[in-house]
């Protein structure tokens, strides 16, 4: 891995290397210092803050604990006081009701003592009135606190905790106590009847139930069975009025077509009912002559509870069943006989005289439906207070029918019923808490101690009063205090938290400021590093790169290189040296080129002189020549010719190397090139008994090349093949078009080229002899010039040896006849410019 990294490193340029060095020596230490400083600062700060927070939390918790304890204590105290107050109110209400009922006992006694005649009865009727609060007027019932404190005590010593409540200003209406007073004969027929404030002639036989109130009374038989001195008192009898509750987003509401329900439905029909008192009437001889009855308007009983609220309001015109704060009455058999919602009051169907069955749970209702019994029969069989639980849901069918009177004995969705029932069995009173509809409710109960007639059968007496109160409502003050304390604690806590947050923020800000500062410095340092590196790059690597490029260009043959470096530092000196060197090399090259040109020219002149002399003698212009002289002069002429070719080749090479060679491009027939080249070497080939085979497709196109130069190329290659083949060889010349190229192939079955020399042979002055077993004359420049000319034509040449199979299908290539093949690729489009 380190080796890899090292390899990567050494391959990096100077700029990245410098960047790395600078980063290591500047930014990294800066960041480390910054990190340590920042960390220490933050740690110290946050530790202090943590301690402060802990202390704050402790203080806050202590405050909270004190607050909670004191509130809990005060709430408990307030709850107890409130409970006691409501309990007392319930008990007193129950006593008042009992007293009221006892007064009715007195009324019946008076009536029974009077001679039964309409006038007496009417007098009594008219004398028996009682005020009720007029619910229709909807007078303001709220006593606000300002009004409460309006009246101030004159004596300052009374001022402490002075409270004054003005009298209730509810509008009241006088209402007859009795709906009817009757005298009934011994057979059960009405003889005198006072109803609606007058003597009624509508007399009927009340021994028959259908002739009674709501067709629901059975009082004749009990009357007959009364012993002397006994009074008959009936249960509450009245028509049950339907009611419907429905859920709305604001809570449960009473539908307007329902019975009267105080504030919830003030326009509904009120429950109307009676309680009948009766007593036998005796004449002067002590003979029972008949019975007197009086039907108490039940409104007067309901009046006791209808305006009670267990809150600081104390009384109200319209009670509110929805609030849960109201009073209600249950009879001795646990039936509801007074309620804020009148549809909850038990009653009868006046068409049939049948009692409307009490509201039960869905579970119980389903049980009834399965039983096959009539609802009355089922209700009679249903045992009282069976499995009461809030977990049960109310029967939907009953809700839909609107017949939902509350009969505690069967109201198995309301466990509090059982509590009241059990708490009043001994005639006592009390209270308990119940979680009702998500709110803790205090519910009080108190037996109505009225024990006349049938009500005297149990300690329960007439029944019981209950008051429901939301716990939160009656310790509202405590809750306000609690809220205040909590608010204070909360605010204090907030202050501590906010102070801590501020500190934290300050520390955070300070840390973040440091971080920012360090970041900025690091960034600046980084930028500086990059900048410095760039400057160095411009002054160091830039010139170096240019030097490299220049050197590379020089090696490619482009010798006119000059690096523009202004600085005089080492780099500048290097560039200057390079420039000098380039200049010198260029000069040397130019000199070499000039030398070759001049030399070749200067060489030609003496050669010309020799040529003239030798050729003139040989051709007999200088007199007769004998054979021996001729042979010697032939040798001399051959030498002159070789020298001449060498000079020509040197000149070509020098021009190719100097890239000064110019092509004389024209469209030339490929066949002509090859034919002319073959013609040129034919004598030599024949001298060595070589066969030249030409293969040329007929349709081969012309090619744009320098004709003479291409002929020269072909001659060079053919000469090569001739020279480097044992006598009697075969030479194949081929031209063909392949795609975008024209390919010339010159193959022979000569000595071949060893693998290592395939590239070398194109280098100048390559010693062909080094690969030959015998000496063959040659300048060592032919292939170099050939390659240069081919490349000048945008082509390339390569050599393969031995010759691939199939080139000479009929010739075995073995031993010294390995053969060589030269392949020239030229672009078919040729050379566009010279």
Partner 1 sequence: MEIQKILVVDDDKPISSYLQRKFAKLGYTVYVAEDGEEAVKQAFSNRPDIILLDVKLPKMNGIEVCKQLKADETTKSIPVLMLSAKAQSFEINEGLEAGADKYLCKPMSFPDILGEIRAYERK
Q: Choose which of 199, 607, 625, 828 interacts with partner 1 (CB under 8 A).
A: 607
Q: How far is the CB of 710 from partner 1 (least distance, A)?
A: 13
In sequence order, the β-bridge partners of residue 185 are 290
Is the N-terminal amide bond of 802 cis, ω within 30° of 0? yes
Q: What is the DSSP string of 445-485?
A: EEEE---SGGGGGSTTBTEEEEEEEEHHHHTHHHHHHHHHH
In sequence order, the β-bridge partners of residue 440 are 435
Query: What are the φ and ψ backbone dihedral angles of 288, each rounded to 5 degrees?
Result: -70, 120
Q: How far is the CB of 796 from partner 1 (least distance, A)?
A: 23
Does 7 bind partner 1 (CB under 8 A)? Our answer is: no
Instruction: Please report, for residues 333, 462, 463, the alpha-carbon distance to residue 451 in angstroms, rounded to integers and kept in the order given.
Output: 13, 6, 10
Pick 387 or 664: Cβ nearer partner 1: 664
Does 608 bind partner 1 (CB under 8 A)? Our answer is: yes
Does 662 bind partner 1 (CB under 8 A)? Our answer is: yes
Q: How far is the CB of 795 from partner 1 (least distance, A)?
A: 20
Alpha carbon distance 201, 205 (integer Å):
13
Pick 35 or 621: Cβ nearer partner 1: 621
Encoding tokens for residue 640?
A: 């002159």
Task: Determine how β-strand 354-355 pairs with β-strand 429-436.
Answer: unpaired
Does 828 bind partner 1 (CB under 8 A)? Our answer is: no
- How many CA atoms, within 13 angstroms, populate the side-chain half-sphere of residue 380? 7
Query: What are the φ and ψ backbone dihedral angles of 129, each rounded to 5 degrees?
Result: -130, 160
Pick 554 or 661: Cβ nearer partner 1: 661
Does 605 bind partner 1 (CB under 8 A)? Our answer is: yes
Q: Choose which of 52, 610, 636, 696 interacts with partner 1 (CB under 8 A).
A: 610
Does 638 bind partner 1 (CB under 8 A)? Our answer is: no
Pick 256 or 606: Cβ nearer partner 1: 606
Dmax (CA) for the chain in angstroms is 216
N-terminal to C-terminal alpha carbon distance within the chain:
55
Q: Quick one: which of 337, 326, 330, 380 has its CA closest to 357?
A: 380
Encoding tokens for residue 698?
A: 């007929």
Q: How far is the CB of 668 from partner 1 (least distance, A)?
A: 15
Q: Choose which of 508, 613, 726, 780 interacts with partner 1 (CB under 8 A).
A: 613
Pattern 705-744, partner 1, x by CB under 8 A: ---x------------------------------------
- Residue linked to tokens 């104390």: 314
Does 664 bind partner 1 (CB under 8 A)? Our answer is: yes
Pick 665 or 747: Cβ nearer partner 1: 665
Does 642 bind partner 1 (CB under 8 A)? Our answer is: no
Alpha carbon distance 272, 419 (integer Å):
28
Pick 237 or 677: Cβ nearer partner 1: 677
Pick 338 or 779: Cβ nearer partner 1: 779
Q: How many residues bind partner 1 (CB under 8 A)?
A: 26
Q: Quick one: which of 716, 714, 709 has its CA closest to 664?
A: 709
Q: Choose which of 200, 390, 501, 615 interacts with partner 1 (CB under 8 A).
A: 615
Q: How far is the CB of 802 from partner 1 (least distance, A)?
A: 38
Does 796 bind partner 1 (CB under 8 A)? Our answer is: no
Interface with partner 1 by CB under 8 A: which range of 61-69, 521-529, 643-651, 684-692?
643-651
Q: Choose which of 31, 37, 203, 648 interacts with partner 1 (CB under 8 A).
A: 648
Inter-residue long-range contacts of 526-533, CB under 8 Å, 24+ positions, other chains counted: 526/23, 526/27, 528/26, 529/19, 529/22, 529/23, 529/26, 529/27, 530/19, 532/18, 532/22, 533/15, 533/18, 533/19, 533/22
Does 611 bind partner 1 (CB under 8 A)? Our answer is: yes
Q: Quick one: which of 472, 328, 470, 469 has its CA closest to 411?
A: 328
Does 255 bind partner 1 (CB under 8 A)? Our answer is: no
Does 619 bind partner 1 (CB under 8 A)? Our answer is: yes
Helix (H) or strand (E) holding 99: helix 28-113
Question: Buried b / exposed e across 609-641, counting CB within 10 Å, b at 16+?
Answer: ebbeebeebbeeeeeeeeeeeeeebeebbeebe
Does 666 bind partner 1 (CB under 8 A)? Our answer is: no
User: Would you call 593 helix, strand, or coil by DSSP?
Assistant: helix
Could you tell me if residue 303 is left (phi over 0), alpha (psi between -120 and 50 degrees) or otherwise beta?
alpha
Pick 319 or 712: Cβ nearer partner 1: 712
Alpha carbon distance 663, 708 (integer Å):
9
Binders of partner 1 in range 573-602 (CB under 8 A): 600-602
Does 771 bind partner 1 (CB under 8 A)? Our answer is: no
Interface with partner 1 by CB under 8 A: which range of 88-96, 125-133, 580-588, 611-619?
611-619
Pick 504 or 645: Cβ nearer partner 1: 645
Pick 85 or 633: Cβ nearer partner 1: 633
Pick 168 or 603: Cβ nearer partner 1: 603
Q: Choose which of 240, 300, 307, 655 interacts with partner 1 (CB under 8 A).
A: 655
Does 621 bind partner 1 (CB under 8 A)? Our answer is: yes
Q: How far is the CB of 603 from partner 1 (least distance, A)?
A: 8
Q: What is the DSSP string of 733-783?
A: EEEEEETTEEEEEEEE-SS---GGGTTGGGSTT--GGGG-SS-----S-HH
Asked if residue 821 lies in contact with residue 804, where contact means CB atoms within 8 angstroms, the answer is: yes
Query: What are the φ and ψ backbone dihedral angles of 734, each rounded to 5 degrees?
Result: -145, 145
Pick 648 or 771: Cβ nearer partner 1: 648
Does 616 bind partner 1 (CB under 8 A)? Our answer is: yes
Pick 137 or 622: Cβ nearer partner 1: 622
Pick 651 or 820: Cβ nearer partner 1: 651
Does 651 bind partner 1 (CB under 8 A)? Our answer is: yes
Does 697 bind partner 1 (CB under 8 A)? Our answer is: no
CA angle 510, 514, 515 (to 5 degrees): 115
Alpha carbon distance 398, 411 (integer Å):
12
Q: How far is the CB of 591 from partner 1 (least distance, A)?
A: 19
Interface with partner 1 by CB under 8 A: which range of 52-60, 299-307, 610-618, 678-686?
610-618
Asked if residue 358 lies in contact with residue 394, where contact means CB atoms within 8 angstroms, the answer is: no
Q: How far is the CB of 733 from partner 1 (least distance, A)?
A: 25
Question: Which residues contact partner 1 by CB under 8 A?
Answer: 600-602, 604-616, 619, 621, 640, 644, 648, 651, 655, 662, 664, 708
């Amino acid at each position: 891995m380190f080796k890899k990294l090292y390899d990567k490193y050494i391959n990096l340029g100077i700029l990245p290397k410098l960047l790395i060095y600078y980063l290591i020596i500047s930014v990294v230490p800066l960041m480390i210092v910054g990190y340590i400083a920042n960390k220490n600062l933050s740690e110290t700060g946050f530790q202090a803050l943590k301690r402060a927070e802990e202390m704050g939390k402790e203080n806050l918790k202590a405050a909270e604990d004190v607050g909670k304890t004191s509130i809990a204590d005060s709430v408990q105290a307030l709850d107890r006081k409130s409970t006691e107050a409501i309990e007392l109110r319930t008990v007193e209400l129950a006593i008042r009701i009992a007293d009221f009922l006892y007064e009715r006992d007195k009324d019946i006694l008076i009536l029974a003592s009077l001679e039964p005649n309409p006038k007496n009865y009417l007098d009594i009727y008219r004398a028996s009135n009682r005020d009720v609060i007029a619910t229709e007027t909807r007078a303001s019932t709220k006593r606000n606190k300002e009004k409460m404190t309006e009246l101030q005590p004159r004596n300052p010593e009374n001022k402490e905790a002075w409270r004054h409540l003005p009298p209730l200003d509810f509008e009241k209406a006088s209402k007859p106590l009795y709906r009817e007073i009757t005298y009934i004969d011994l057979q059960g027929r009405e003889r005198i009847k006072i109803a609606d404030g007058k003597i009624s002639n509508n007399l009927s036989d009340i021994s028959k139930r259908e002739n009674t109130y709501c067709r629901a009374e059975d009082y004749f038989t009990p009357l007959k069975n009364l012993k002397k001195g006994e009074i008959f008192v009936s249960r509450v009898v009245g028509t049950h009025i339907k009611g419907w509750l429905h859920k709305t987003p604001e809570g449960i509401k009473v539908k307007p077509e329902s019975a009267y329900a105080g504030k919830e439905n003030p326009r509904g029909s009120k429950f109307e009912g009676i309680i009948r008192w009766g007593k036998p009437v005796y004449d002067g001889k002590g003979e029972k002559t008949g019975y007197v009855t009086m039907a108490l308007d039940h409104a007067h009983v309901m009046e006791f509870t209808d305006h009670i609220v267990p809150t600081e309001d104390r009384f109200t015109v319209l009670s509110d069943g929805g609030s849960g704060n109201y009073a209600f009455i249950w009879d001795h058999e646990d039936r509801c006989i007074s309620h804020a919602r009148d549809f909850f009051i038990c009653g009868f169907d006046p068409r049939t005289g049948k009692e409307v069955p009490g509201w039960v749970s869905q579970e119980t209702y389903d049980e009834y439906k399965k039983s096959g019994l009539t609802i009355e029969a089922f209700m009679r069989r249903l045992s009282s207070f069976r499995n009461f639980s809030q977990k049960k849901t109310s029967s939907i069918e009953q809700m839909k029918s609107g017949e939902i009177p509350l009969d505690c004995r069967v109201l198995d969705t309301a466990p509090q019923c059982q509590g009241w029932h059990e708490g009043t069995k001994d005639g006592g009173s009390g209270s308990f808490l119940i979680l009702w509809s998500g709110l803790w409710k205090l519910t009080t109960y108190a037996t109505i101690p009225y024990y006349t007639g049938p009500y005297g059968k149990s300690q329960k007496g007439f029944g019981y009063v209950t008051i429901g109160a939301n716990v939160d409502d009656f310790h509202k003050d405590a809750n306000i205090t609690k809220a205040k304390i909590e608010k204070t604690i909360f605010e204090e806590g907030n202050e501590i938290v906010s102070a801590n947050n501020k500190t934290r923020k300050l520390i955070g800000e300070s840390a973040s400021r440091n971080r920012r500062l360090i970041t900025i410095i690091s960034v600046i340092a980084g930028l500086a590093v990059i900048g410095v590196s760039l400057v160095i790059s411009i002054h160091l690597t830039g010139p170096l790169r240019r030097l490299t490029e220049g050197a590379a260009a020089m090696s490619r043959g482009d010798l006119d290189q000059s690096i523009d470096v202004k600085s005089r530092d080492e780099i500048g000196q290097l560039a200057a040296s390079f420039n000098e060197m380039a200049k010198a090399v260029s000069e040397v090259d130019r000199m070499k080129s000039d030398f070759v040109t001049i030399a070749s020219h200067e060489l030609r002149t003496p050669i010309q002189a020799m040529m003239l002399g030798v050729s003139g003698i040989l051709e007999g212009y200088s007199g007769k020549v004998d054979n021996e002289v001729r042979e010697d002069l032939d040798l001399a002429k051959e030498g002159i010719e070789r020298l001449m070719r060498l000079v020509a080749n040197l000149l070509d090479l020098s021009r190719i190397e100097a890239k000064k060679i110019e092509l004389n491009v024209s469209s030339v027939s490929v066949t002509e090139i090859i034919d002319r080249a073959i013609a040129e070497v034919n004598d030599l080939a024949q001298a060595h008994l070589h066969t030249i085979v030409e293969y040329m497709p007929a349709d081969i196109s012309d090619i744009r090349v320098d004709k003479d130069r291409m002929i020269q190329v072909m001659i060079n290659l053919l000469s090569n093949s001739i020279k480097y083949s044992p006598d009697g060889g075969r030479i194949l010349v081929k031209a063909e078009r392949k795609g975008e190229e024209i390919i010339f192939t010159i193959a022979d079955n000569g000595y071949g080229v060893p693998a290592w020399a395939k590239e070398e042979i194109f280098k100048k002055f390559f010693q062909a002899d080094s690969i030959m077993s015998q000496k063959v004359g040659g300048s060592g420049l032919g292939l170099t010039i050939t390659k240069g000319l081919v490349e000048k034509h945008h082509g390339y040449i390569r050599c393969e040896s031995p010759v691939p199979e199939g080139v000479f299908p009929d010739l075995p290539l073995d031993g010294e006849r390995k053969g060589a093949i030269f392949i020239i690729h030229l672009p078919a489009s040729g050379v566009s410019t010279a």
